[in-house]
Amino acid sequence: MTGKLPGYFDENSESLSARIATGLHKLGLAMKQQSWQQANGAGLSATQGQILAALVAHGPLSGTELSTRLGVTLPTISDSVRVLVEKALVTKAPDPRHPRASLLTPTATGAALGARARSWPEFMADAVADLSPEEQRAFFSGIVKMIRMLQEQGLVPVTGMCVTCTHFRPNVRPGASPHHCAFVDAPISSDQLRLDCPEHERAPEPARREVWEQFLRRD
Ligand code: SF4
């Protein structure tokens, strides 16, 4: 089959980057829709579900810490926490680190709902599992770079990722695991980089930039 219009798609296609952005938008919509449906099924809003999931994953947190981790404004966090306290899913206690702040802890019921909320993105993991190992590696590498760029623009919170962590030492040795995590003192490969590590400590600028440049030198 030769085709009657051989150059049609050369002249009538958006750039690959634009089509990737469209694809990500569709994936984002699917994530939002699933989170909303599952949160609704559990009698929660998506933000309330995210808060419970974060408290299960990271232990007791203040409202400010939740706001930073989730990239949600403090007033929105406060509204959701008020509802979670009314529903007896979260308790508030004085934060020993900050006399005027409260530390939020899930109750047993809240922790059970939080554990369920943590698995909400699993439908996406099933779809990703269908990609070949090479496709998964390329996808993950692209995701790390995109999130890092969005963090620099202030659109994604600078939390949880190795490439912004004070313990991360990129490209310090040859081989399959060229990076190092000084927190656990262990080698780490590019495929093993964490996106949501509870031990993450944000590296200050300009160290963050230097770490990123060092990381890109081989990746
Ligand atoms: S502490 Fe966590 S985020 Fe930091 S380098 Fe180690 S694994 Fe990565």
Model confidence pLDDT, tens digit, residues 140-183: 999 999 999 998 888 888 888 999 999 999 999 999 999 999 99
Of 13-27, 102-116, 119-133, the least confident? 119-133
pLDDT above 90 coverage of the chain, percent? 61
Would you say the CB of residue 167 lies under 6 angstroms from ligand 1? yes
β-pairing verdict for 98-106 and 168-169:
unpaired
Q: How far is CA 63 from CA 48, 74, 100, 136, in A?
A: 12, 7, 12, 35
Q: Which two tokens stand for residue 29?
A: 């919509």
Contacts of 42 (CB under 8 A, 6+ apart): 49, 113, 116, 117
pTM (predicted TM-score): 0.77
Does ligand 1 come within 6 angstroms of the Cβ of 196?
Answer: no
Domain boundaries, the chain: 25-118, 131-216
Q: What's the whole-number average pLDDT of the chain?
A: 90
Mean pLDDT confidence for 189-209: 91
Instruction: Name the residue of 144, 167, 177, 193 whose CB sits within 8 Å of the most ligand 1 atoms, as the mutation to test its pocket.
Output: 167
Q: Does any ligand 1 atom lie closer than 6 A to the CB of residue 144? A: no
* Cβ neighbours of 18 (radius 10 Å): 10
Residue nearest ligand 1's atom 8 by CA: 162
- Cis upstream peptide for 206 (omega within 30°): yes
In the reported structure, the alpha carbon of residue 191 is separated from the centroid of ligand 1 by a whole-number distance in angstroms of: 13
Give the lowest-confidence range in 23-37, 47-61, 152-166. Answer: 23-37
Q: Cα–Cα distances in Å, from 197 out to 69, 161, 167, 213? A: 11, 6, 11, 21
How many A from CA of 165 to the centre of ligand 1?
6
**Digit-coded pLDDT (tens) for 114-142:** 988 887 777 788 889 899 999 999 999 99
Amino acid 1: pLDDT: 59
CATH number given to 25-118: 1.10.10.10
d(C-alpha 129, C-alpha 138), whole Å = 13
Residue 194 CB less than 6 A away from ligand 1: yes
